[in-house]
Amino acid sequence: MSFRDLRNFTEMMRALGYPRLISMENFRTPNFSLVAEILKWLVKRYEPQSDVPTDVDTEADRIFFIKAVAQFMATKAHIKLNTKRLYQADGYAVKEMLKITSVLYSAMKTKQMALGDKVEQDNSKFKFDLGSRISDLKAARQLASEVTSKGASLYDLLGKEVDLREMRSAAIARPLEIIETEKALRAAIKEVLKSVDKTKDMLNNVVSDEATLDGKIEKKKQELERNRKRLQTLQSVRPAFMDEYEKIEEDLQKHYETYVEKFRNLSFLESQLNEYHRLEQERFEEAENTLRLMQSKLREEERELMKNEDSDIDVPEDEGSDSDMEELRPAKPHLTRNGLMTGMQTGDSHIIHVMINSHLHKFTPLFLFVHLKEKSILKSSYSREYPT
Q: What is the pLDDT along the chain (388 residues), one digit of tens a residue?
A: 567 778 888 888 888 888 888 877 788 888 888 888 888 888 888 888 877 788 888 888 888 888 888 888 888 888 888 888 888 888 888 888 888 888 888 888 887 776 666 655 555 554 445 556 777 788 888 888 899 889 888 888 888 888 888 888 887 777 777 788 888 889 999 999 999 999 999 998 988 889 899 999 999 999 999 999 999 988 888 777 888 899 999 999 999 999 999 999 999 999 999 999 999 999 999 999 999 999 999 999 999 998 888 776 654 444 444 444 444 444 434 434 344 344 444 444 444 444 444 444 444 444 455 455 555 555 555 455 444 4
Encoded amino acid at 248, one letter: I
- The residue ranges of every structural domain in the chain are 3-120, 178-237, 250-313+334-388
**Cα 60 from chain centre:** 73
Count helices and strands in the chain by DSSP H and E runs: 13, 0
pTM for the complete prediction?
0.32
By residue count, the chain amounts to: 388
The whole-angstrom separation of Cα 170 and Cα 57 is: 73
Count of CA atoms in the C-beta half-sphere (13 A) of 200: 6
Q: What fold characterizes domain 3-120?
A: Actin-binding Protein, T-fimbrin; domain 1 (1.10.418)
The whole-angstrom separation of Cα 159 and Cα 153 is: 10
The whole-angstrom separation of Cα 373 and Cα 386 is: 20
Contact 346, 376 (CB under 8 A): no
